[in-house]
Structure 1
Amino acid sequence: MRVKPAPGLQVRDPFTKKLLAADGIEVPDDSPVWNRILNDGDVVRVEQPAAAAPAQARAVTGDDKA
């Protein structure tokens, strides 16, 4: 899951002791520490857009009709 500081707060990563970036960081879903911080309201979960599948390109051959 991805979390970022709640509005108006600065939150330190409990492991690195550095402040979280405003756009958030990726943390383990099953982490008791991060789930506690999330439940306390110090961070909010960032909804990630679904990863777009890359378009499949195909080679143009002489047999292709335009």
Structure 2
Amino acid sequence: MFVKPVKGRSVPDPAHGDLLPEEGRNVDENNYWLRREAAGDVRR
């Protein structure tokens, strides 16, 4: 799934060991990213 951080949020990407870039990235659709989406930290 492709996700972008919501403006003003810094979201760690545990698979890459860095922060999710502002332009977004393809990530595995797993519980971590589904929780980040539910919390309003990222959007698809």
TM-score by length of 1: 0.58
Deviation at 1:14, TM superposition (A): 2.4
Look up the SS of the partner of 1:3 in the other structure: strand
| Structure 2 portions without partners, runs of 5+ | none
Q: Relative to total residues, which structure has the larger strand share, 1 or 2?
A: 2
% same residue: 41
Number of positions where the alignment pairs a residue of Structure 1 with one of Structure 2: 44
Q: Relative to total residues, which structure has the larger helix share, 1 or 2?
A: 2
Shift >2 Å, 4+ stretches? 14-17
Look up the SS of the partner of 1:34 in the other structure: helix
Mapped to 1, the partners of 2:36 and 2:3 lie a distance apart of 10
Which protein, 1 or 2, shows the higher relative CO under an 8 Å CA cutoff with sep ≥ 6? Answer: 2
TM-superposition CA deviations, 1:10-54 (whole Å, max 9, x none): 11112333011111110123x111101111111111xxxxxxxxx
Task: Answer with 1 or 2: which has the greater Rg.
Answer: 1
For the aligned residue pairs, the C-alpha RMSD in angstroms reads 1.2
TM-score by length of 2: 0.79
Mapped to 2, the partners of 1:12 and 1:43 lie a distance apart of 11
